[in-house]
Amino acid sequence: QTSNLIVKLGAEGFIAYRKEEDRDFLHRQHFPALSANPADVAGAGDALLAAVSVGLTQNLTLMEASAIGCCVAALAVQTVGNRPVRLEDVREYLGQTGLATNAI
């Protein structure tokens, strides 16, 4: 069994923690907030957690899902009000940020 934890840090991004089943080792990765000038931060955390959750249900690792979640949250705050984030936009943003993954 694997244990995962996401700690949101507001404007500082979030930290993803993963504990392996057969080890005492705890993997920790900080994901900084990617959007320097957000238009509206409402819903950023919800977008992040939704994207990470979907990624985990698709058998991505926590770190892969977190990279995608980081991009989804950044895209979600670029306009005023909540709006859906398109998969095409996430793929493009992943490539621009250097967090590119073959997971999506």
pLDDT (0 to 100) of residue 82: 84
Give domain status of residue 103, yes or no.
no
| Per-residue pLDDT tens digits for 33-83 | 987 688 998 889 999 999 999 999 999 999 999 999 999 999 999 989 888
The CA distance from 85 to 51, in Å, is 10
Chain mean pLDDT for the chain: 87
* Structural domains in the chain (count): 1
pLDDT band (50, 70, 90) for residue 24: confident
**Structural domain span for residue 60:** 3-97
> Which CATH number do you get for residue 38?
3.40.1190.20
Give domain status of residue 83, yes or no.
yes
Q: Look up the pTM and report it.
A: 0.83
Give domain status of residue 61, yes or no.
yes
pLDDT (0 to 100) of residue 73: 93
